[in-house]
């Protein structure tokens, strides 16, 4: 039964499989936007975007301090992390605007 579900989802998504890390970024982006959205929908979206960018900058800085390289080290630095975090915020913001 589970294989049928997995196969169907892969067909729908064009065999695009999301890493658990990206789903976590989506989740936290939606949570940040929802909390910030208690003040204003736009504030929640901006807060989500700023935190996503700052988190990747922090990861790059830690990598640089520990290994001397911005991209490799204990943390992964990936622009797609920012994209998925902001996308989670966008979904929540659109839901609040409708």
Q: What is the pLDDT of residues 72-84, one digit of tens each?
A: 888 888 899 999 9
- Put simply, whether the predicted model's pTM sits higher than 0.85 gets the answer no
Distances (CA, A) of 80 to 4, 17, 23, 98: 29, 14, 11, 27
Q: What is the pLDDT of residue 9?
A: 57
With b meaning 16 or more CB within 10 Å and e meaning fewer, what string describes 4-36? eeeeeeeeeeeeeeeeeebeebbebbbebbbeb
Q: What is the pLDDT of residue 19?
A: 75
In this structure, what is the dihedral angle of CA atoms 23, 44, 71, 61, given to the nearest 10 degrees? -130
- For the cut 70, the answer to whether the pLDDT of residue 18 exceeds it is no
Predicted confidence band of residue 12 (pLDDT cuts 50, 70, 90): low
pLDDT digits (tens, 9 = 90+) for 30-73: 999 999 999 999 999 999 999 999 999 999 999 989 888 888 88
């Amino acid at each position: 039964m589970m294989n049928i579900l997995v196969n169907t989802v892969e067909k729908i998504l064009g065999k695009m499989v999301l890493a658990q890390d990206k789903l976590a970024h989506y989740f936290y982006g939606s949570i940040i936007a929802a909390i910030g959205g208690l003040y204003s929908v736009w504030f929640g979206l901006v807060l989500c975007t700023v935190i996503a960018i700052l988190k990747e900058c922090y990861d790059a800085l830690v990598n640089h301090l520990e290994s001397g390289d911005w991209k490799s080290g204990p943390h992964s630095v990936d622009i797609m992390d920012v994209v998925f975090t902001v996308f989670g915020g966008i979904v929540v913001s659109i839901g609040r605007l409708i």
